[in-house]
A and B are shown apart, each in its own frame.
Chain A
Amino acid sequence: MSFVPGIGIVKGMALTLRRFFEPKVTVQYPEQVPEIPPRHRGRLQLLYDEYGALKCETCFQCAMACPIECIDMGGTDTKDRFHVHWGAAEQYAERREEQALRRSGRPVPDPNFAAFDRADTTRLDALLEQEEHDPRRLLPILEGTQEIYGYIPVAAVKHISTATGIWYAEVYGTASFYGQLRLELPAAHRLGICRCPSCSLFGGGAVRAAFEDELGVPLGGTTPDGSVALATDDCHGENAGTPWVTLDGRPQRDMTAAGAVRLAQSLAGHAPAGRA
């Protein structure tokens, strides 16, 4: 068929004639408003909800998707614990300036924004030199960093990202994924409570409630002054008819609710050095 001369012209003319009768795709905008899908994002901008909290979850997906890495963003992580940041602040400092954002008509940034503390990076630099700035050795680097500082400060994450070329979000994601890596200083004391059915039957719930009431933090939390971390533990069947409680790994036998109150009172207020 394709050897017939002029068949292409006929096919083309037939196509346009069919199009002539097809329904038209134009939306008469001011009169008809198109139905916009709920997940449509027409314009990238930071939004605040009705309580004034930033809606951005700082997932960095937009920054990772941006092909020319022009998105420069900062915020707190999902648990509202750490300030995280993406992009070279030096390069885009002008754009992040509050007045510049106001002029551009966008919402002004989080008023609680505070720059992270600068960390002394001499030992970290030595570690990075030893690991040859190799992105594939991120885990040893992070573990070494934790040995140096006792935890992984945000400044160190940023420094590692700059030195190795790994995206900040990947360094942060790796650091927050592994259980042995900490993003904050450990508490001075660690209170462990077993939550197995056996311990619960022997009054574990009352002990836990006493600790939570006295320390003012839920299970899994740390007191604001950093003196006590309340965590879950496992008795491995070793409880001898009493709830299993450990203090810094040492079991505390015959724990009752009253004893828990006394223990908590003795521990509170002994903040470790270096904690605000």
Chain B
Amino acid sequence: MPLLGTLVLLFLVLMLGVGTGVIPGIVIWIGGVLLANIAIVRFVVAATAVLLFTIPTAFVIIFLELKVIAFMNLRIGPNRVGPWGTLASVVHGLKVLSKEDFTPTGADVTVFTLAPVVTFVGSVMAFMVLPFGPGLFGVDFNVGLLYFFGVGGLGVVGLLMAGWSSFNKYSLLGGLRSAAQMVSYEIPLTLSVVGVIMLAGTMSLNGIVQAQSGSFLDWFVVRQPLAFLVFFIAATAEANRTPFDLTEADSEIVAGFATEYSGMRFGFFFFAEYVNVFLLSGLAVVLFFGGWTAPVPWPWPVHVLLAPGELGLALLALVIVVPVVGSALFALPLWMLRSEWPFWRAWILGLGLFSALAVGALGIYLLINLDALLGIVWFFAKAYVFVFTFVWMRATLPRVRIDQLMGLAWKWLLPAALVNLFLTALAILVVHP
């Protein structure tokens, strides 16, 4: 009774508000304020979306890592939680959440608490400039790439903070080791991209993708193979992935900067690591593999004449009639073939078949008509190829020594990046004097 009364009261208030024009007024006012500050709204929406997006991404990559490495070891891997063990990584996350959050005595509590946040925020903020599809990006900076590397560098600060504040000499050594590695590899990573910037003429990631539109022959990997190689190796080191995962080196040395961390704070470091994997895969796709553009452009333009808005009342009739007719179309032959079935069973099966067909058709319709959807599909397909490659490398390659790591960065990658830079400049001078 109280529930019904409340509902009636709310309905009356709503009617009254609409009748007197108060509620439309409020709605229009809010809309106006939002429209006036569209940049802020866009930023907030994008930040929330990106923050929410990192969670499934990290879970998917952790699951991929468990499953792919298991398959490459001729094992089966997680298969108990969820279908094919897909929920294993979620359960990992819940387990980490339920663990004790421990702070060692003598630790610098503020810095100790902030360190995982800084690492994680660095990764999330870099997402803001990554174009997922045409028009699907947080902010289209004209210095997007610079921003990307700048914010990505926050990760090093976080690791250093974690190492410093743990009040543990091994943590400090681990933090400094990580910082040395990541700072060293920032240089070839950044330099390898300069050639791409020169070719595209912009540092906006969206602009770089548009500069590669066309077929796969327009992708920058064709014109900058050396840069891609340097970028990929440096990105592996930057994301702390095997064979350059000396920052935590699970199986060999003390976990480095994360030694004193437990529970979700520890989880955040690894969350950030897996987000970083996707981030750098996405960046590799954007810079060298044409981002959200299709490898081969659709050879003939598609114009679907049917615009749903133009149908008017007929649309309503269509929505009501088509499912019934479609279901019947599938159900009746089934019922005739399987006469021992009750009619409702055939009908449910027919409805299911029709629904599958309708969803497929709707998906194709949307893919053809919405560039953004097609772009997202292409972007994720390409990005996950790189994610797979990172996992694949982890299953294959042994870890390098710290001196080999440093030697590779300074003696090989840096000169290679510089050579690539000068060659690109020379080529631009020759072709477009």
Contacts and interface: CB of A to CB of B under 8 A. Distances in A.
B68 interface: yes
Contact of A26 (B68, B76, B395, B396): B76
Nearest to B243: A9
A26 B74 CA distance: 8
Nearest to A15: B396
A13 interface: yes
B393 A13 contact: yes
Contacts of B395: 16
B75 A16 contact: no
Contacts of A13: 392-393, 396-397
Contacts of A12: 396-397
A24 B396 CA distance: 17
A177 interface: no
B76 A16 contact: no
Nearest to B229: A6
Interface string A1-39: 000000001001101110110101110100000000000
A19 B392 contact: no
Contact of B72 (A9, A16, A26): A16
Contact of A24 (B68, B71, B397): B71
A24 B72 contact: no
A15 B395 CA distance: 10
A19 B71 contact: yes
Interface in B393-422: 393, 395-397
A22 to B, nearest CB: 6
Contacts of B76: 24, 26, 28
A120 to B, nearest CB: 64
B142 interface: no
B355 interface: no
For the complex of A and B, the 6 pairs showing the least CB-CB separation, nearest first, are: A16-B72, A16-B396, A26-B76, A12-B396, A19-B72, A20-B71
Interface of B: 68, 71-76, 79, 392-393, 395-397
Contact of B74 (A17, A22, A28): A22
19 contacts: A9-B397, A13-B393, A13-B397, A15-B396, A16-B72, A16-B395, A16-B396, A17-B392, A19-B71, A19-B72, A20-B71, A22-B74, A24-B71, A24-B75, A25-B74, A25-B75, A26-B76, A28-B76, A28-B79
Contacts of A28: 76, 79
A19 B397 contact: no
A27 to B, nearest CB: 10
Interface string A167-198: 00000000000000000000000000000000
A92 B393 CA distance: 53
Given A9-B396, A20-B392, A26-B74, 5 more contacts: A12-B397, A13-B397, A16-B72, A24-B74, A24-B76
Contacts, number: 35
A270 B393 CA distance: 88
A19 B70 CA distance: 10
Contacts of B79: 28
Interface of A: 9, 12-13, 15-17, 19-20, 22, 24-26, 28
Contacts of A24: 71, 74-76
Contacts of A26: 74-76
A20 B68 contact: yes
Contacts of B396: 9, 12-13, 15-16
A19 B73 contact: yes
A19 B396 CA distance: 11
- Of the candidates A16, A17, A24, the one having the most CB atoms from chain B within 10 angstroms of its own CB is A16
Contacts of B75: 24-26
Contacts of A16: 72, 392, 395-396
A19 B73 CA distance: 7
A7 to B, nearest CB: 14
A9 B38 CA distance: 50
A179 to B, nearest CB: 57
Contacts of B68: 20
A16 B75 CA distance: 12
B393 A20 contact: no
A136 B76 CA distance: 57
B54 to A, nearest CB: 27
A19 B393 contact: no
Contacts of B392: 13, 16-17, 20
Contacts of A22: 74
Nearest to B76: A26
Nearest to A21: B71
Contacts of A9: 396-397
A266 B352 CA distance: 102
A17 B385 CA distance: 13
Nearest to A27: B76
A12 B76 CA distance: 20
B77 to A, nearest CB: 9
A12 B394 CA distance: 11
A28 B76 CA distance: 9
- Of the candidates A20, A24, A28, the one having the most CB atoms from chain B within 10 angstroms of its own CB is A20
Contacts of A15: 396
A99 B110 CA distance: 62
A9 B389 CA distance: 13
A274 B95 CA distance: 77
A257 B392 CA distance: 90
A154 to B, nearest CB: 53
Nearest to B394: A16
A31 to B, nearest CB: 10
A26 B75 CA distance: 6
A157 B73 CA distance: 54
Contacts of A25: 74-75
A256 B393 CA distance: 93
Contacts of B72: 16-17, 19-20
B279 to A, nearest CB: 23
Nearest to B393: A13
